[in-house]
Amino acid sequence: MHELSILEGMIQGIQEEARTQGFHRVLQVRLEVGRLAGADVEALRFAFEAASQDTLAEGALLEIIELPGKGVCRTCGHEVEIEQRFDLCPACGVGFVSVTGGTELRIKDIDVEGEG
Amino acid sequence: MCTTCGCGGTGATLDGHAHPNAQEPARIGRRRVSLEQNLLAKNNALAALNRQLCAARGWFMLNLVSSPGSGKTTLLEQTIQRLKDDVWVAVIEGDQQTSQDADRIKAAGAPAVQINTGKGCHLDAHLVGHALEVLNPPDGAVVMIENVGNLVCPAAFDLGEDHKVVILSVTEGEDKPLKYPDMFAASDLMLLNKVDLLPHLRYDVSRCLAFARRVNPDIQILQVSAQNGDGLDAWIGWIEARRAALQKA
């Protein structure tokens, strides 16, 4: 459940932003989460609810944009999309895939309310 | 809802108390703030500082990760025995509770600092940075971090180590690399431990190794027994070679 400590850190970051950017409430948070980022979407939702409690982000909408896993086949060289790290190359069916994308775990933007 | 006191919204009315925005709540300057930040940015920045400190002091730092009961602490004791005449070895112990592991390491002859993470399921770069301050070993030391026994969460947290080393024991399933792919993908070396037990088990080593390479085609693998010493020379050799490569770079 490392999702909780990651989102607690995110809420801290948002609180710092609130001080410098002058907002007092967060209405929506948009995250980008790669399929191979090692973070579970449902766990992130649960963790967000827990971490935002009694903060300026309590009750905010959490939108999670899922990004596909990407890689290059070590055997046939094709660029492919994969669901899991251990997927064999869907193009040739035998090659191991080196991951090139889908490990993102980012806060994209937040919608806020307040003078600023 | 009344923007003055928050009342209203239920249809109740009171003469002389208006709810001008009852239909559409006032939105005081709703706006979008673009952040575009890695959620692990803070940890990664602290890990980079740890890495700088290690480079400046010539410390070679390994992050040992595994599930509970894989034999990490026994392996560390044996590693300390074999290294301590040639190089200063210091250990950072991560556990949710107790200092039993740090006590075992100290008994084996290495300085150790225990981090209790409480509810935390992993070490992070911040905790390790402070542990390095406390340990402060001499220049050129080998620093071993024994992470919290957990094959999931520690994978996401860079501590500033030179290498992650994942330890898997043959009493666990052959398919662990597939079940916990992030950890095996993040590691440079896998130690398959407790191989002295193989005669008593139905365990297909080649299947396990194939699974590990499928998740991480570049992973190096050594088969060891911390109990009877099998393969430990190769493990010590790996540490010495990697350390030498670092000093040359």
- Contact check, Cβ <8 Å, B39/A74: no
Q: Which residues of A touch B152 (CB under 8 A)?
A: 2, 38
Q: Which residues of A touch B215 (CB under 8 A)?
A: 85-86
User: Are the C-beta atoms of A78 and A96 separated by less than 8 Å?
Assistant: no
pLDDT in tens, B172-182: 989 999 999 99
Q: How confident is the model at residue A114 (pLDDT cuts 50, 70, 90)?
A: confident
Quick one: pLDDT at residue B247? 81
ipTM of the complex: 0.89
- Contact check, Cβ <8 Å, A96/B37: no
Q: How far is B191 from chain A (nearest CA, A)?
A: 19
Average confidence score pLDDT of chain B: 89
Name the residue among B241, B31, B55, B19 with its Cα closest to residue B143.
Answer: B55
Given a cut of 80, is residue B167 above it in pLDDT?
yes
Using the Cβ of A111 and the Cβ atoms of chain B, whether some distance falls under 8 Å is answered with yes
What string of H, E and C letters represents the secondary structure of chain B?
CCCCCCCCCCCCCECCECCCCCCCCCCCCCEEEEEEEECCHHHHHHHHHHHHHHHHHCCEEEEEEECCCCCHHHHHHHHHHHHCCCCCEEEEEEECCCCHHHHHHHHCCCCEEEEECCCCCCCCHHHHHHHHHHHCCCCCCEEEEECCCCCCHHHHCCCCCCEEEEEEECCCCCCHHHHCHHHHHHCCEEEEECHHHHHHCCCCHHHHHHHHHHHCCCCEEEECCCCCCCCHHHHHHHHHHHHHHHHHC
pLDDT in tens, B197-235: 999 999 999 999 999 999 998 999 999 999 999 999 999
Quick one: pLDDT at residue B27? 52
Q: Which residues of B touch A13 (CB under 8 A)?
A: 35, 37, 42
- Contact check, Cβ <8 Å, A21/B33: yes
Tokens at A38, concatenated = 């090692």
- Contact check, Cβ <8 Å, B124/A5: yes
Quick one: pLDDT at residue A104? 95
Q: How far is B62 from chain A (nearest CA, A)?
A: 21
Quick one: pLDDT at residue B120? 82
Q: How confident is the model at residue B248 (pLDDT cuts 50, 70, 90)?
A: confident
The correct answer on CATH 3.40.710.10 for the domain covering A2-68+102-113 is no
pLDDT in tens, B74-117: 999 999 999 999 999 999 999 889 888 899 999 999 999 999 98
Q: How confident is the model at residue B4 (pLDDT cuts 50, 70, 90)?
A: very low
Quick one: pLDDT at residue B188? 98
pLDDT in tens, B38-50: 999 999 999 999 9
d(CA B181, CA A30) in angstroms, rounded, equals: 26
Contacts of A30 (CB under 8 A, 6+ apart): A63, A64, A65, A107, A108, A109, A110
pLDDT in tens, A1-53: 789 999 999 999 999 999 999 999 999 999 999 999 999 999 999 999 999 99
Determine what percent of chain A is predicted with pLDDT higher than 70: 99
- Contact check, Cβ <8 Å, B36/A106: yes
Name the residue among A7, A88, A110 with its Cβ closest to that of B33: A110
Count other Cβ atoms within 10 Å, centred on residue B29.
12
Q: Which residues of A touch B214 (CB under 8 A)?
A: 86, 88, 96
d(CA B43, CA B123) in angstroms, rounded, equals: 10
Given a cut of 90, is residue B5 above it in pLDDT?
no
Using the Cβ of A51 and the Cβ atoms of chain B, whether some distance falls under 8 Å is answered with no
> What is the CATH class of B41-248?
alpha beta
Question: Domain extents for chain A?
Answer: 2-68+102-113
